[in-house]
Amino acid sequence: MRIAIAGGHGRVARLLSRALVDRGDVPVAIVRNLDHVPDLQDDGAEPVVLDLESALVGDVADAVAGADAVVFAAGAGPGSGAARKDTVDRGAAALLADAAEQAGVRRYVLVSSLGADAPPPPGTDDVFAAYLAAKGASEEDLRRRTLDWTILRPGALTDDEPQGHVELAPEVERGAVPRGDVAAVLAALLHEPATSGMVLELVGGPTPVEEAVRSVTA
Supply the pLDDT for residue 130. 86
Residue type, 109: V
CB 95 within 8 A of CB 142: no
Please give the Cα distance from 19 to 114 (Å, whole number).
Answer: 23
CA quadruple 1, 209, 132, 139: dihedral, nearest 10: 50
Please give the Cα distance from 167 to 212 (Å, whole number).
Answer: 7
Contacts of 196 (CB under 8 A, 6+ apart): 107, 148, 149, 150
pTM greater than 0.85 (yes/no): yes
Summarize the confidence of residues 207-216 as an average pLDDT: 97
Summarize the confidence of residues 36-45 as an average pLDDT: 97
pLDDT digits (tens, 9 = 90+) for 103-135: 999 999 999 999 998 888 887 888 888 889 999
Domain extent listing, the chain: 2-217
Please give the Cα distance from 28 to 30 (Å, whole number).
Answer: 6
- Using a 10 angstrom Cβ sphere, with 0-12 exposed, 13-18 middle and 19 or more buried, the burial of residue 169 is middle
Supply the pLDDT for residue 78. 67
Q: Does domain 2-217 have CATH number 3.40.50.720?
A: yes
Residue type, 100: A
